[in-house]
Structure 1
Amino acid sequence: MTSIKKPINIVDVTYARTGASVNTDSMGMREMQQRVFAKRDAQHLLVKAPPASGKSRALMFVALDKLYNQGRKKVIVAVPERSIGASFAPTELTKFGFFADWEIKEKHNLCDPGSSQGKVGVFVNFLNDPSAVTLVCTHATLRFAFEKLAPDAFNGTVLAIDEFHHVSADTESSRLGALLRDVMNGSDVHIVAMTGSYFRGDSVPVLSADDEAKFTPVTFNYYDQLNGYQYLKSLGIGHHFYQGRYFEAIGEVFDLDKKTIIHIPSVNSGESTKDKIEEVGRIFDVIGEVVHTDPVTGIHDVRRSDNGEILRVADLVDDTDQAKRAETLHYLSKVASKDRDGVDVIIALGMAKEGFDWPFAEHALTVGYRASLTEIIQIIGRVTRDSPGKEHAQFTNLIAEPDASRGEVKVSVNNMLKAITASLLMEQVLAPNFTFKSKKNGDDTPAEPGQLKIKGFKEPSTARVKQIVDTDLNDLKATILQDDTFAKAAVGSLDAEQANKVLIPKIIRERYPDLTETEVEELRQQVVVDSVIKNGEIKTVGDKRFVKMAEKFVNIDELNINLIDSVNPFQRAFEVLSKSVTPSVLRIVQDSITSTRVEVTEEEALAAWPKIQQWAKLNGRPDARSENPTEKRYAEIVLFLQRKKQQKAAAQKAAQMVDEA
């Protein structure tokens, strides 16, 4: 086996291990569950909290209160996969101080084997049976049942939808989204929606703005969760770039001493050989030699080639024998999730992501860029569960380097940049939250803990902007980072003023068309300030604190909005890229971006013109052949304005000729 290389980590966060997020109160509730229970009277509740924070039990607490104290008659819990249904099995809550236990009759657990369509009759009978109280089913069963029911059949019920990001505002592609809207509009249903990731920037929004406004949000952020653990101390998120076939490079970052989940690429991706079974075999070869396979569980015993130790490996990719794979999944959920020695490596393709519980997992090794931020969050969540003996968790994305000699260079460049920007977003999600206040002249009062005062900063002036800042800021950043324009930022060719004053406001207006220009500016400042501060390294020297911005440290007491606006909030993408690849690969990336550069807009040109004039006074006319990306862009803008001027002159001349005729 090749020597282990440490992946290039973009994110490396250390936490305090306060125990706050896992300790329970007199009713047996964790910190997150207490927050949710405090909002239990809301008719429509939206819970956004990380994997392993206890969303399933939070739902039990709220649902039981709605049954006993709010006049609800039934609770329906819908999960995306049958395996996740185990999270809602009967649970004793009274022994920890709560007033009732969570109970599910076996016949109303519709997550057992069998088709979803075949369970519709049980679902309908449940609704019609006055003595039936709780039911667990898959999203698919809920959809099939709804085809047989009118919306008012859900009167008196609580409908809980787990992994809520499966819903979509696109009614053409998401039958679950359409169902939800019909039930909300056609019954008195109470809804509890839960998700470990709510990045609507992935593609289509989960909810329309009007529908989302009907929900009461409860947000528990990733920093609070991880900082409050007992055992897990640090988390790394990084990349390893390879050439050739991934299974020839995977040994460079596959640490056999770590409990590892490997996700191989989809057969539709460029990284795949189109033979998933052969790829798994090559990964087995990296580990060593298969010496035994359990005929019941399907777990393989593999003797390591480096030291002779036996590793227990689960293959969830081979689906030729569905019954055997079902036995392997059963073993993983019942045995390996509780016994540290039950399994050492899991190899998967589409499985072992959301809701999969293997608390001992330390390393998520994912091959190929994942297009969905939600999927990345879910995979990282497999290794961030708190477990005795686990101090560090690692997510490594194995990404193909662009090769100028191959035809898919643009695809490779795009995948690389998207993977890096996704990690940059995760860096901000996992960092401690700050609150920002405007610093008035003569204000010498010290900032509160976790607060920064900034001269010229516009604080949110309306409830709408405050709500977006409190619950939606990471989603907005996801939209901004995934905008194609920001590929230019990743190669260092996007001017800070263009990013902050033109592009970010444009995306905000598109995302929130109901905002006024004043609200857009307040939100723009919040995004830029939050991003720049979280990207910056903070140091304490004596009694003063300094933040690193654009390669220099600035006294936090002297921060002002103009200084922050002079920093490209996404310049870290270029720093990461330039450190991660060779100069020749970096040049391939830059050339690829340049060849697909978007047209200049009038908005960008008008914003850049004063800076171009200043540049020309000092350096002369900007040259389109310059190696300086800023000068090159200025030259393109000058050419754009010249064309506009010529077009305007031609139009005026034509109009004059018409008048004279």
Structure 2
Amino acid sequence: MTSNIFEINYNGTGQSQNTNALGMREMQARVYEKRASQYLLVKAPPASGKSRALMFVALDKLTNQGIKKAIIAVPERSIGKSFQTTELGKFGFFSDWVISPKNNLTDRGTSESKVSQFVDFIRSTNPEDNIMVCTHATLRFAFEKLNDSDFDNILLAIDEFHHVSQGENSVLGNAMRNIMGNSSAHIVAMTGSYFRGDSVPILDPTDEQKFDKVTYTYYEQLEGYKYLKSFAMGYSFYRGRYTDALSEVLDTSKKTIIHIPNVNSGESTKDKYDEVDRILEELGDAKFDENTGLWLVTEESGRVLKIADLVNEEGREKVQEYIRNMSEIDDLDIIIALGMAKEGFDWPFAEYALTIGYRNSLTEVVQIIGRVTRDSSNKTHAQFTNLIAQPDAQDDEVMFAVNNVMKAITASLLMESVLAPNFNFKRKDNDDQKSKGTDIFIKGLKEPSTDRSKNIIQSDLNDLKATILQDSQIQQAIAAGVDAKVINKQLIPRVIMNTYPDLSNDETEEVRQHLVAQAVIQSADREEGTGGNQFLRMANKFINIDEIAIDLIDEVNPFQRAYEVISKEIDAPTLRFIQDYMDGIKFTFSEDELVMLYPQIVQFKNENGRIPVKSSSDQYEQRLAYALLRLEQLRRERQDGQV
């Protein structure tokens, strides 16, 4: 059975789907307001209309801003269809989006010829050569044949921008930096998930600050739907082979996408074709349909399921063609995929995503969820279930298995933040300030003192939380149930400092307080009291929302529910193993951490009249004590070195 970590309900206002006098949805209008920006970063979920938002901006730049050409780069050919010729004028805009077929390089053809076409397009003086669509790969190869200045007065739009990285081996990332530094190009970057699974930043902080940002949240998108009213994310453990556990988690009445594990993962049987066969056998009596390329599976009830196999390469083109052309709800029931049916894949009827094995990339989780969170009349609820291997304390690979579980559960914690409403936190200075809706007043909260910390708090908290949740020490702390103050005041600031090394200590603390408050309050249970008062369940007790203070928030583990999930589902020997492992690493410090902890040691001494001791039962004091010992050790080492 699936255990949901969270379920979020939406009100179905229809607002995100309504259009204005120019034919723009709410998100698109928000982007269009920033159309004059040279560098624009659009963060918006799947199905919100990013492709058309780009069309509106690009046409304005081509017509009114002196831009001579627009190039749109997409990660794979199939996504290119999102930018094909589109009628916009009949809905109120001043022009249609028209792309010449020869400039759509996402059609078939060799990569070498496409690179030549790209170069020819850049250098062409033909007025019709003003819009091009290509893949990221074509852009990378073409960039190597061009000068940076060739991109002067050109709009470069990068779809699924999270594919870019500032890593040394990222050709696309290097191209972006050179074009920004050495040309007058305009850049529009679009993504549904701005964080990367490998923790490598997309842009250097100094480059990122050059971008104006438009953020349209998942919550705004789903709250404004007409049909879809709720989303839940959960997990289910299995032992042995995952194919034997499918009957417990599959509901064949739901339009489903099954993603089998990567062949290199521990959950894989190493034979992906056999796994597909076993899934089909589990579902019923399977017969292949030569006409469509689908499997027709007859269940015990006599119902026939139409199943698309996107794992087998043989015949895949026919299946993909069928999927591209289908339009009715009864055309398909289940898709079985490995690396496909994720990014940019459109099956609006899909309502259940079953993913076997944890996904190392949080971006991949967001993309899979995006497949089932499109608004459609056939569904009021969407579900993501992660089927993962149950750790076994007797297994030599137990820590690897535990890490898999932690990555799956921390992904759920991130998605709860992504899918829930964001709160606006303000410092509470008097009792007349009352919290209402998403505006919450907190006693002792530090307001952002600079534009830098303010921008991070307003735009980057979910991205920062993704970085925090991917930190191995924090994942182990969650698994071991480490004291809330250690996580909130020591581990989280360390990650913030590493992510934003340009922040001062005060800015770091401002960002930390807002991030922890967001994490704690988003996940808190709510209860209405008398007189319209709202109470939040924090640290196992209900607190009046108007009495919340930052000191109280810091006493709550923002990841408590993840630990409760693990404690409930993982047996005692495995939990002890995790805790023993954590004990071995919890008193290691980098120099930056020691610098951060020293003021806390001084504060502890001032408040308690003594230095922290390592024999304390309080984990926060223990960690301060070991930090003090390490500082003394470093001082002695430096003195010895000077003698």
Match of 1:298 in 2: 293
Distance verdict in 2 for CA 1:651–1:345, change over 3 Å: closer
- Could you tell me how far apart the structure 1 residues matched to 2:172 and 2:193 are? 17
- Could you tell me how far apart the structure 2 residues matched to 1:159 and 1:540 are? 50
Equivalent position to 1:554, from 532, 538, 543: 543
Match of 2:342 in 1: 353
- Could you tell me how far apart the structure 2 residues matched to 1:268 and 1:251 are? 24
Alignment gaps of 5+ in structure 1: 624-629
5 Å-filtered alignment, 1:482-493, equals 482-493=470-481
Distance verdict in 2 for CA 1:154–1:405, change over 3 Å: same
> 1:292 deviation in Å?
3.0
Amino acid at match of 1:348: A
SS at match of 1:21: helix
SS at match of 1:531: helix
> 1:384 deviation in Å?
0.3
- Cα contact 1:247–1:279 (8 A) shared by 2: yes
Equivalent position to 2:368, from 379, 383, 386: 379
Amino acid at match of 1:70: Q
1:390 equivalent in alignment to 2:379: yes
Match of 2:460 in 1: 472
Equivalent position to 1:39, from 19, 34, 56: 34
Equivalent position to 1:275, from 265, 271, 274: 271
- Could you tell me how far apart the structure 1 residues matched to 2:157 and 2:150 are? 15
1:77 equivalent in alignment to 2:72: yes
SS at match of 2:193: coil
Match of 1:333 in 2: 324
SS at match of 1:341: helix
> 1:609 deviation in Å?
9.7
Match of 1:162 in 2: 159
Match of 2:557 in 1: 568
Distance verdict in 2 for CA 1:274–1:440, change over 3 Å: same
Equivalent position to 1:248, from 244, 248, 252: 244
1:427-448 residue CA offsets vs partner (Å, 9 max, x unmatched): 111111111111114x414345
> 1:146 deviation in Å?
1.5
Distance verdict in 2 for CA 1:446–1:634, change over 3 Å: closer
> 1:570 deviation in Å?
2.1
Match of 2:410 in 1: 421
- Could you tell me how far apart the structure 2 residues matched to 1:642 and 1:189 are? 53
Distance verdict in 2 for CA 1:299–1:599, change over 3 Å: same
1:308 equivalent in alignment to 2:302: yes
Match of 1:430 in 2: 419
Amino acid at match of 1:314: A
- Could you tell me how far apart the structure 1 residues matched to 2:111 and 2:174 are? 19
1:124 equivalent in alignment to 2:87: no
Match of 2:234 in 1: 238
- Cα contact 1:616–1:622 (8 A) shared by 2: no
- Cα contact 1:612–1:634 (8 A) shared by 2: no
Alignment gaps of 5+ in structure 2: none
Amino acid at match of 1:205: P
SS at match of 2:557: coil
> 1:585 deviation in Å?
4.4
Match of 2:106 in 1: 111
- Could you tell me how far apart the structure 1 residues matched to 2:561 and 2:434 are? 30
- Could you tell me how far apart the structure 2 residues matched to 1:109 and 1:403 are? 52
1:232-279 residue CA offsets vs partner (Å, 9 max, x unmatched): 010010110111111111221011111111111111111111111111
1:96 equivalent in alignment to 2:125: no
> 1:605 deviation in Å?
8.8
- Could you tell me how far apart the structure 1 residues matched to 2:422 and 2:21 are? 28
- Cα contact 1:402–1:589 (8 A) shared by 2: no
Amino acid at match of 2:113: G
- Cα contact 1:74–1:156 (8 A) shared by 2: yes
> 1:638 deviation in Å?
6.0
- Could you tell me how far apart the structure 2 residues matched to 1:610 and 1:63 are? 54
Greater mean alpha carbon deviation, residues 338-347 or residues 55-64 = 338-347
Match of 2:175 in 1: 179
> 1:535 deviation in Å?
1.8
Match of 1:412 in 2: 401
- Could you tell me how far apart the structure 2 residues matched to 1:81 and 1:636 are? 48
Amino acid at match of 1:486: I
Match of 1:211 in 2: 207
Distance verdict in 2 for CA 1:289–1:591, change over 3 Å: farther
Greater mean alpha carbon deviation, residues 161-170 or residues 443-452 = 443-452
> 1:580 deviation in Å?
3.2
* Structure 2 length-normalised TM: 0.93
- Could you tell me how far apart the structure 2 residues matched to 1:610 and 1:491 are? 29
Distance verdict in 2 for CA 1:616–1:350, change over 3 Å: farther
SS at match of 2:308: strand
Amino acid at match of 2:305: L
Distance verdict in 2 for CA 1:655–1:314, change over 3 Å: closer
Greater mean alpha carbon deviation, residues 635-644 or residues 56-65 = 635-644
1:322-344 residue CA offsets vs partner (Å, 9 max, x unmatched): xx312221221222xx2212211
Match of 1:452 in 2: 440
SS at match of 2:378: coil
- Cα contact 2:267–2:357 (8 A) shared by 1: yes
SS at match of 1:99: coil
Equivalent position to 2:148, from 148, 151, 156: 151
Distance verdict in 2 for CA 1:632–1:516, change over 3 Å: closer
- Could you tell me how far apart the structure 1 residues matched to 2:68 and 2:626 are? 69
Amino acid at match of 2:458: D
- Could you tell me how far apart the structure 2 residues matched to 1:291 and 1:651 are? 75
Match of 1:27 in 2: 22
SS at match of 1:291: strand
Match of 1:626 in 2: none
1:48-106 residue CA offsets vs partner (Å, 9 max, x unmatched): 00011100010111111111111222111110011101111111111111111111121
SS at match of 1:390: coil
1:618-657 residue CA offsets vs partner (Å, 9 max, x unmatched): xx9948xxxxxx56886787678678878978998x899x
SS at match of 2:373: coil
Greater mean alpha carbon deviation, residues 33-42 or residues 642-651 = 642-651
Percent of aligned pairs sharing the same letter: 55
- Could you tell me how far apart the structure 1 residues matched to 2:481 and 2:225 are? 41
- Could you tell me how far apart the structure 2 residues matched to 1:289 and 1:44 are? 55
1:158-217 residue CA offsets vs partner (Å, 9 max, x unmatched): 1111000000011x3211111111222222211111001001574110011111112111
- Cα contact 1:489–1:573 (8 A) shared by 2: no
5 Å-filtered alignment, 1:563-642, equals 563-594=552-583, 597=586, 599=588, 607=600, 622=615
- Could you tell me how far apart the structure 2 residues matched to 1:333 and 1:156 are? 36
- Cα contact 1:487–1:593 (8 A) shared by 2: no
- Cα contact 1:492–1:571 (8 A) shared by 2: no
Amino acid at match of 2:318: E
Match of 1:134 in 2: 131
1:482-525 residue CA offsets vs partner (Å, 9 max, x unmatched): 21221343234422222222222222222112222221121111
Distance verdict in 2 for CA 1:462–1:290, change over 3 Å: same
